[in-house]
Structure 1
Amino acid sequence: MIRTNEWKSNAAITGIGSYVPERRLTNDDLAAMVDTNDEWIVRRTGIRERRIAAPDEFSSHLAVKAAQQLLARYAKEAADIDAVLVATTTPDTPFPSVASRVQRALGIRACLAFDLNAACAGFVAALQAAGGLLQTGAYRKVLVIGVETLSKITDYSDRSTCILFGDGAGAVLLESAPEGAFIASDAMTDGSGGGSVYAAGLSTEWDGQPLAGGGKIVQNGREVYKWAVSHVPEGVRRMLDKVGLEPRELDWFVPHSANLRMIEAMCERLELPAEKALYSLTHYGNTSAASIPLALDLAVREGRLAAGHLVALYGFGSGLSQAGLLLRWTLKSPQK
């Protein structure tokens, strides 16, 4: 049964930061590795380059730098944070969590810290979870980070996947606000489609069938594309229906930055101008859980995203999972 109730939280975003590794991997670089070229990649995905973590650089390093930038830009104190949620599919280690590594690096003692894995829907799912924590009244300031080092599980001999993925991190701070900026949410999962995009781990089978890839990303791009272009617009409309709004009333639509052609198709189905979509894929590629916060921070830096804007975030990916959040952007210019 699809839930139709309206959901609100007293949460508001009060800070944002991001970090991407220094190394750039361009389409021309990839053309020297596999049978592809810049024109082919741009025409099919919109991606021109992506950032790649150094061999000794892992998700926790990127997450900490994004969080530190947030704290410096908005004059926030790490000691005031009482929960750290990290959305990632590429933790440094299965345990301890990336969140606990962030806690240690920032010197926070009295805080809840855990990782959340919902793949490319992870950041929005983490925002939903963080909003719930604030709603209980037991937590006041929650740091939410989306981070990936997908290059470490990408097969660079597979041209269908290696052209897509990159590394990066985006962080936001959530705090309780009298009027709450989170307006409505959406979530849907179809585990039967899990074999469409995966990375094998302790188990190497899915529904009795062997999983390929040896721990690297394997994706049936055609199936994922069809599923996303159909289900994401439905989810966005379902979320807006809960509060009596239409897509045309949005100031910005921020889907997971998987593929520009996919985003354009979603906008067409929503009858929304493609210019209203924010994405981070052009220079960062598909960064899974990091793609939406990276897109938000880019828009803040460019002056496009401003206080008062109505924004629909929508993550989707492996699982097959999808998570949406409708919010009123309240963040003003950084203090530093």
Structure 2
Amino acid sequence: MGTRALDKDLEDLAASARAALVREIGISGAFDADPVWREAFAAVPRHLFVPYYYVGALGGYERCWGEDPDPRARERWVRGAYDDAPLATRLRDGELVSSSSQPSLMAQMLAELRVMDDSRVLEIGAGTGYNAALMAYRLGDDRVTTVDLYPEITESARQHLAAAGYHPAVVTGDGARGVPERAPFDRIIATCTLTSIPRAWLAQCVPGARILAPLATGLITLTVRDAERAEGHFLHTPAYFVPLRGEGRPQPDPAGSPGGVPRVARDHELLRFLFTLTRGSLDPQEAYALWDREHAPQRERYGVTVGDGAAWAWLDDPEGPYVWPLPG
């Protein structure tokens, strides 16, 4: 759609749909940890960041876009832009490589980031630029940096941000390496699934910084002690994101259908989380035995420690009996 203005009817529709989305997010409780984010979601127009997106259709995807010649299709595009749902925004060979996350999940992640007014934030995974705009609205352009591996993603994010009136630093590069030229950071938030925590991030954080990232279908929150060590627990929330891509980054593959595990438990969401967290360390039967013995532990009982040249996940205690190495 570029930067062409909407006609008044669509602008009015976008405004009312945005207000309804903010109410829906509020009802979900996603703003509870930091209600100031409500103002950002009310102010930043999501439709400017998704000039087109893809919806599932028979045999693949169908594109919804703001310059469709059919006025009813343009109206569907606007309404869809303000659904509390993830939107597929970029495909490559039929594979999803970029998306706009579910707004209520974005709100919860931003609230759990626990920013201060003077926080400097690094976002790993620029996506459409919408999340960076929300942060720039609250913190100011100069305190927000977003990075993505693909130049076409960073260029479109930069254009979307400019159209909405925001100009944070948008960097093309491997997010696993951080953005050292913009460091130090008080907060790092990732919008792509990790298999471990990149050590480069710790070195680019101030002591006491907070890292929030998707890991093993959950959200890990880490407090950085120094350039070598960080530790924290998972939030209770499930989270599924596009994997972090870059040099040397192993790609998480979905947990398969494990043999030897009772069928009634096999697809339990929390057991699948444990399968993913312990892949390569425990076989599914061992993971199931632990899960059953510990009475289907919730995500909050799990945590991650980075230190001593290694990273490991754990249940209840980082030095307890249930500890599993994460990829280097």
- Report the TM-score, using the length of structure 2 for normalisation: 0.30
Greater relative contact order (CA < 8 Å, ≥ 6 in sequence)? 1
- Report the TM-score, using the length of structure 1 for normalisation: 0.29
